[in-house]
Amino acid sequence: QECAIQEYLKHQNIVALYEYCETDDEIIIYMEKISDCNYFEVKLCERKREIKNEDKIRRYVKQILVGLSEIHRNGIIHADLKLDNLLLHREEGKDPVVKICDFGISQTINVVDEDGVAKALMKLRSGTAAYIAPEIKGNNKLVNDIKY
């Protein structure tokens, strides 16, 4: 499901998946090459250095939100958004671009309640413990008010 979802999503703030193939032993994935894929993880987690430039932070956050909006608009919930899954691509002469990756535990919105509101059914609690939304406390939880 991860490969199918990521291949389907085509957006500048989502890492492009060009092709994938499965064998009995492995899945081979051909993805967009990202120039500075560990920027956020190294700068913020390992070095524990803040990004002091507020304009840069605003640009990065806006790009993350635009990418998430595209994911939600397509009826998908990432379910594991964290620094490790936010990559920074730099090209000479262009502004850096934040790209979202790793759709391994993403969920599709597949439940509509009696009011016609789309919801995702989180069958299993999944995600990285420190990043799980507080409303997801156990299995078989409906994520309310999905806006896309």
- Can you point out the beta strands (E) in the chain? 17-22, 27-31, 76-77, 86-89, 97-100, 107-108, 111-112, 118-122, 141-143
Torsion of CA 37, 39, 42, 45, to 10 degrees: -110
Per annotation, catalytic residue among 55, 80, 84, 145: 80
Per the listing, tokens 């896309």 go with 148
80 flagged as catalytic: yes
Of the given ranges (23-32, 38-47, 55-64, 77-86), which has the lowest mean pLDDT? 38-47
Is residue 71 pLDDT above 90, yes or no? yes
| pLDDT tens track for 6-53 | 888 999 999 999 988 888 999 888 999 999 988 888 888 777 888 888
* Mean pLDDT value of segment 76-105: 92
